[in-house]
Amino acid sequence: MVTYQVQDVSKDMSFLEMLDLLNEDLTLKGEEPVAFDHDCREGICGMCGVVINGTAHGRGESPVPTTTCQLHMRSFEDGATIDVEPWRAGPFPVIKDLAVDRSAFDRIIQAGGFISANTGAAPEAHAAPVGKLQADRAFDAATCIGCGACVAACPNSSAMLFTAAKITHLAMLPQGQPERYSRIKTMIATHDAEGFGGCTNIGECAEVCPKQIPFDTISQLNRDLIKSLFKKDGK
Amino acid sequence: MTTTTTPAAPTTAKTASTDFFEVGAEIKDAKAPAGAIEQKWSKRKFEAKLVNPSNRRKMTVIIVGTGLAGGAAAASLGEAGYNVQNFCYQDSPRRAHSIAAQGGINAAKNYRNDNDSTFRLFYDTVKGGDYRSRETNVYRLAEVSSNIIDQCVAQGVPFAREYGGLLDNRSFGGVQVQRTFYARGQTGQQLLIGAYQALERQVAAGTVTMHTRHEMLEIIIVDGRARGIITRDMVTGEIESHFADVVVLATGGYGNVFFLSTNAMGCNVTANWRAHRKGAYFGNPCYTQIHPTCIPVHGETQSKLTLMSESLRNDGRIWVPKNAADCEKDPRQIAEEDRDYYLERIYPAFGNLVPRDIASRQAKNMCDEGRGVGPAVKEFDEDGNERFVRRGVYLDFTEAIGRLGKDGVAARYGNLFDMYAQITGEDPYATPMRIYPAVHYTMGGLWVDYDLSSNVPGLYVTGEANFSDHGANRLGASALMQGLADGYFVLPNTINDYLAGSSAFEKVDESHPAAVEALESVKERIDKLLAVNGTRTVDSFHKELGNIMWEYCGMYRTEAGLIKAIGLIRKLRESFWKDVKVSGVNEDFNQTLERAGRVVDFMELGELMCVDALHRRESCGGHFRAESQTEDGEALRHDDEYAYVAAWEYTGTAQAPILHKEPLEYEFIELKQRSYK
């Protein structure tokens, strides 16, 4: 644990701009800057994320959860001491300072988080209509940015919300049906093998999710998982 | 060829501008077949040499970048059976900046039965690009656009739908047909996740090997062919060589040369610039798109800018106070008669919906006149003196809220209003938003032929990284279309023509002199950066470069300003190598070192952009030369002199580059001056 003092923080600065300012100062003093992941800084790439005062991504005064990059310093009292930690979860080993390795998420997707449709093999886009409600539910689940806040917030380090978001996205669409009950088995197996814990319905994940992935996607996942147990080869 | 009646270009007052470059041989795209434009792509696909499916796994393709152009290509070539090595600097391919595109993707499906067609999309794109793009490439883009939508739907991309279950469309970017497919304000995200999932499927299948947190720092050229790349493992610092039969750069745009842009923080030109230094021509580097509806700069610590979809201009009215004295007032206290709705005043026919370049330039003009609003931010005038200028104009929804109700406005723009409130801490339903233009997209990029091959054999370039399809200005909802067209449908049908001959290529490995030289040059550059140990941070140099570019090579460019900028950049580069402080060591997760390397290349690129802008003594699209305007201050093209692609050949740092012109011949579309009055 290190405590740094940062001067000249304006209320309009983003949290990450405050870290930039700290790093400029550390560099000039000849000290090592603090490493942290970030990229788009508009809340969509999912690269940033630290635990701020005990909350994944930090909340400040925002009425809805945000990514760390969308948190602004006006959310903090002038002179406040802010606790910053990396995501803490066994399957997310720390690389350096605040940066962690989230490649386990990619491996869960590799295990079946896709629809097998080779380039060029697609039928006409209107061949399979999708009801608006299903399309909207698919979209809501598909907005997951893979930041890992759900895992960081979960006492079990479960990645169930992340996995359920993908399961729900693809399960709502006609194109996702052929692999629906096979993908869930392989994705859950990989989820467990990566060391993520089980879900005990605590709900912290959905509380911190910057894209507000609905908690009931996990119910969808559980329903599909049970159904899949009665299906041979996922059919 | 069509002749036009535009006035002749002003004669060069001084010879100064020509001192900065030399003119070399003309070039021509030799790959697009002759004949009717509708037949060219089919003909090319038929004529291209094929690779037997059983031989493909023996061929290695390096792809740098995992956005729409890179990720889609990696997935498609993996499916085809090639051995694909895919690289990205982020921790996952899903982070590529294509993800941030909001508005939508165009396709000539004509689902709205409103006279749309492949030819109309082609026509609109060429016109929107202000007649500075290559007809053959743009036609093909329009031709494959429908296949993109089919492919994405098959992958499970959740496009917006109507209650009947069919896809919804909207009109976008000032065109008169509804051909834009969208997924709320997150179209780029959904398309990228589609490509990412297809890519991860190939990783699982073993056809694609993914190298995340790897940055390409050099290209390996053997016997004139691109045969590999040098990368740095951003976690361990290890410098690695990777070899292949062909190299594809899908590394995005270079808007971060301006420091502040809507690009992600990591977006950079290094891969492209390293290829340029090794012989690849850079096409039209000065063509930059400046997007009018971004959230203004809040102060000196600003690290990036956020775009809000220009759909806001459909219902919002843009204004500034008539009197500079009112600029500090609460906008709600400024009477209607004291407001200047300047776009509606100057362009009564199009009003607030004028194209991006015009809306941007007029916002700048208003602020330059001293009628900007919001906080005054520090900048430097031409003599380097500090000054404070308000850089913002109002985007007002009062009238729309009156007409549609607050809920009606929220239904259309709710997510954008939330985003604005989040960033500024102001409630846009209660008080007008403030907006200002920001660098958004770069139309320029490495020069490619119809096959998307650069002039270096074995080096292909796709997506924003190439120069090919948008001319001097990109239409809304066309970037996603181009990235996916290149990645899914074009490259996988042209790269085989080159790979078919790869069995004759020399075997290369780490011991090859060209590979050793490339690896050593990277190590040397890193050592040099770490050894300076000066007194200024990397970001301070990057910001200074950005200021120079924005001031002199931004929305308003003059001969004197550009010449001055070149001098300033050269001085800055000198001072960088004497005074930069890069902390830490190479063998570590060292983000300062990453940024330092990128700034080195941005400084060289910045100079080339100024040279390109200087040589093009006309205004076209996003490039506005003050010397070339109509009597009422609008952009004036000179088709007689400048209807060509400027492809620049590198000759050395601060050495005059060589200009190769590729004449643009308009066989199917007649050239016209744009007018929005």
pLDDT tens digits, B78-124: 999 999 999 999 999 999 999 999 889 999 999 999 999 999 999 99
Tell which CATH classification among 3.10.20.30, 3.40.50.10140, 2.40.50.100, 3.30.565.10 matches the domain A15-85.
3.10.20.30
Confidence of residue B186 (pLDDT cuts 50, 70, 90): very high
Range from A37-51, A95-109, B125-139, B663-677 carrying the lowest mean pLDDT:
B663-677
> Is B591 part of a structural domain of the chain?
yes
Question: Which of B173 and B617 is assigned the larger pLDDT?
Answer: B617
The predicted structure's pLDDT at residue B677: 72
Q: Return the half-sphere exposure (C-beta side, CA atoms, 13 A cut-off) of residue B349.
A: 5
Check residue B356 and give its pLDDT: 85
In this complex, how many residue pairs, one in chain A and one in chain B, have their CB atoms less than 8 Å apart?
A: 221
Q: Which of A86, A57, A92, A60 is nearest to A73 (CA)?
A: A60
Q: Judge: B303–A44 Cβ closer than 8 Å, yes or no.
A: no
Q: Is B245 among the domain residues? A: no
Distance in Å, alpha carbon of B109 to nearest chain A alpha carbon: 10
Give me the CATH code for the A102-115+126-234 domain, please. 1.10.1060.10
The single residue listed with the structure tokens 């003909």 is B43
Mean pLDDT of chain B: 94
Q: Beginning with the edge strand found earlier in the chain, give each strand of the sheet holding B433-442 in spatial order.
A: B288-294, B433-442, B393-396, B317-321, B339-340
The answer to the question of residue B565 being in a domain is yes
Which of A87, A49, A165, A157 has its CA nearest to residue B193?
A165
Identify the band that residue B149 occupies on the pLDDT scale cut at 50, 70 and 90.
Answer: very high
Mean pLDDT of B261-279: 98
Q: Which of A17, A119, A139 to mutate: most B Cβ within 10 Å?
A: A119
In this structure, are B530 and B425 located in the same domain?
A: no
CA of A199, closest CA in chain B: separation in Å?
24
Q: Where are the beta strands (DSSP E) in B536-649?
A: 644-649
Contact B94 A46 (CB under 8 A): yes
Whether B519 and B241 have beta carbons less than 8 Å apart is answered as yes
| Whether the Cβ atoms of residue B246 and residue B498 lie closer than 8 Å to each other | yes
Q: Report the CATH number at residue B593.
A: 1.20.58.100
As a whole number, mean pLDDT of residues B253-272 equals: 98
| Cα–Cα distance, A103 to B90 (Å, whole number) | 11
**Which domain CATH number covers B411?**
3.90.700.10
**How many CA atoms, within 13 angstroms, populate the side-chain half-sphere of residue B193?**
31
Give tens-digit pLDDT for A101-141. 999 999 999 999 999 999 999 999 999 999 999 999 999 99
CB of A118 within 8 Å of a chain B CB? The answer is yes
Q: Does residue A131 contact residue B172 with C-beta atoms inside 8 Å? A: no
Q: Name the pLDDT band for A233 (thresholds 50, 70, 90).
A: low
Considering only CB atoms, B303 lies closest to which of A20, A117, A142, namely A20
- Could you say which DSSP state residue B300 is in? T
Residues 6+ apart with CB under 8 A from B385: none
Which domain range does residue B299 map to?
A: 291-439
Structure tokens at B572: 């800055």
B-chain residues near A37 (CB < 8 A):
91
Parallel, antiparallel, or unpaired: how do β-strands B239-243 and B225-233 relate?
Answer: antiparallel
- Domain end, chosen from B400, B422, B439, is at B439
Q: Which residue has the higher pLDDT, A97 or B185?
A: A97
Predicted pLDDT at B19:
86
- Report CB contact under 8 Å: A72, B423: yes
From chain A, pick out residues whose CB is under 8 angstroms from the CB of B90.
Answer: 39, 45, 47
Model confidence at B139, pLDDT cuts 50, 70, 90, reads very high
Among the partner-chain residues A109, A132, A146, the one whose CB lies closest to the CB of B161 is A132
DSSP state of B105: E
Query: What distance in Å separates residue B28's CA from the closest CA in chain A?
Result: 30
All residues of chain B having their beta carbon less than 8 Å from the beta carbon of residue A43 are 419
Quote the minimal CA–CA distance from B128 to chain A in Å: 27
Question: Which of A39, A145, A211 is the mutation pick for testing B, counting most B CBs within 10 A?
Answer: A39
Mean pLDDT of chain A: 96
Those residues whose C-beta lies under 8 Å from the C-beta of residue B257, and which sit 6 or more positions away, are B269, B545, B546, B549, B602, B605, B606, B609
B251 within a domain of the structure (yes/no): no
Q: Give the nearest chain B residue to A21 (CA atoms).
A: B301
Lowest mean pLDDT among B143-147, B175-179, B659-663: B175-179
> CA-to-CA distance for B23 and B462, rounded, in angstroms?
27
In chain A, ranges of CATH 3.10.20.30 domains = 15-85
The C-alpha of A232 sits at a distance from chain B's nearest C-alpha, in angstroms, of 22
- Cα–Cα distance between B257 and B272 in angstroms, integer? 13
pLDDT digits (tens, 9 = 90+) for B353-371: 888 888 999 999 999 999 9
Quick check: is B652 in a domain?
no
Q: What is the dihedral of CA B624, B630, B634, B638, to 10 degrees?
A: -50
Q: Span A42-53, mean pLDDT? A: 97
Cα separation of the two ends of chain A:
52
Mean pLDDT of B286-312: 92
d(CA B148, CA B107): 8
Q: Which of B66, B92, B113, B196 has the most A C-beta neighbours within 10 Å, making it the best mutation to test the interface with A?
A: B92
Residue B329 tokens, joined? 């007032």
Q: B591 to chain A: which residues are within 8 Å by CB? A: 33, 35
Intervals of CATH 1.10.1060.10 along chain A: 102-115+126-234
Percent of chain B at pLDDT exceeding 90 = 87
For the residues B24-28, what does the mean pLDDT come to?
Answer: 96
Of A97-101, B64-68, B385-389, B547-551, the range with the lowest mean pLDDT is B385-389
Per residue in B548-567, pLDDT tens?
A: 999 999 999 999 999 999 99
B581: three-class secondary structure by DSSP: coil
Contact predicate B445/B465, CB 8 Å: yes
Interface of A with B in 142-201 (CB under 8 A): 142-143, 145-146, 169-170, 172-173, 175-176
Q: How far is B403 from chain A (nearest CA, A)?
A: 27
Nearby residues of B86 by Cβ (< 8 Å), 6 or more positions away: B62, B63, B66, B70, B71, B74, B93, B199, B208, B209, B210, B211
What pLDDT score does B355 carry?
Answer: 81
Minimum CA–CA partner of A174 in chain B: B156
- For A37, the closest of B91, B210, B299 (CB atoms) is B91
Which chain A residues are within 8 Å of B166, Cβ to Cβ?
A: 126, 129
Nearest CB among B95, B149, B201 relative to A47 is that of B95
Question: Is B383 a residue whose pLDDT tops 80?
Answer: no
Interchain CB distance below 8 Å, B156 and A45: no
| A44/B163 CB distance under 8 A | no
- Is residue B307 within 8 A of residue B291, CB to CB? The reply is yes
* CA distance, residue B662 to nearest chain A CA (Å): 32
Contact yes or no for A115 and B583 at CB 8 A: no
By Cβ distance, the residue of B76, B165, B183 closest to A129 is: B165
Query: CB distance A175–B153 less than 8 Å?
Result: yes
Residue A59 confidence (pLDDT) above 90: no
How far, in Å, CA of B621 to CA of B132, rounded? 8
Q: What is the largest CA-CA distance in chain B?
A: 76
pLDDT band at B13 (very low <50, low <70, confident <90, very high): very low
Q: Which residues of B touch A66 (CB under 8 A)?
A: 422
pLDDT in tens, A150-169: 999 999 999 999 999 999 99
Q: What's the rounded Cα separation, in Å, for the pair B563 and B561? A: 6
pLDDT at B3: 39
pLDDT of res. B155: 98
Q: Does pTM top 0.80 for this prediction?
A: yes
Mark whether B403 and B533 lie in a shared domain. Answer: no
pLDDT at A235: 53
Q: State the pLDDT at residue B5.
A: 42
Q: Which residues of B touch A24 (CB under 8 A)?
A: 537, 539-540
Number of domains in chain B: 2
- Is pLDDT above 70 for B6? no
Rounded CA-CA distance A171/A224 in Å is 9
Residues of B in contact with A170 (CB under 8 A): 156
Same structural domain for residues B530 and B405? no
- Which of A57-66, B478-487, B489-498 is the least confident region? A57-66
Contact B20, B566 (CB under 8 A): yes
Which token pair is A33?
């800057």
Q: What is the 3-state secondary structure (H, E, C) of chain A?
A: CCCCCCCCCCCCCEHHHHHHHHHHHHHHCCCCCCCCCCCCCCCCCCCCCCEECCEECCCCCCCCCCCHHHCEHHHCCCCCCCCEECCCCCCCCEEECCEECCHHHHHHHHCCCCCCCCCCCCCCHHHCCCCHHHHHHHHHHHCCCCCCHHHHHCCCCCCHHHHHHHHHHHHCCHHHCCCHHHHHHHHHHHHHHCCCCCCCCCCHHHHHCCCCCCCCHHHHHHHHHHHHHCCHHHC
CB-based contact A33 B592, cutoff 8 Å: yes
B101-134 burial string, b = 16+ CB within 10 Å, else e? Answer: bbbbbbbbbbbeeeebebbbbbbbbbbbbbbbbb
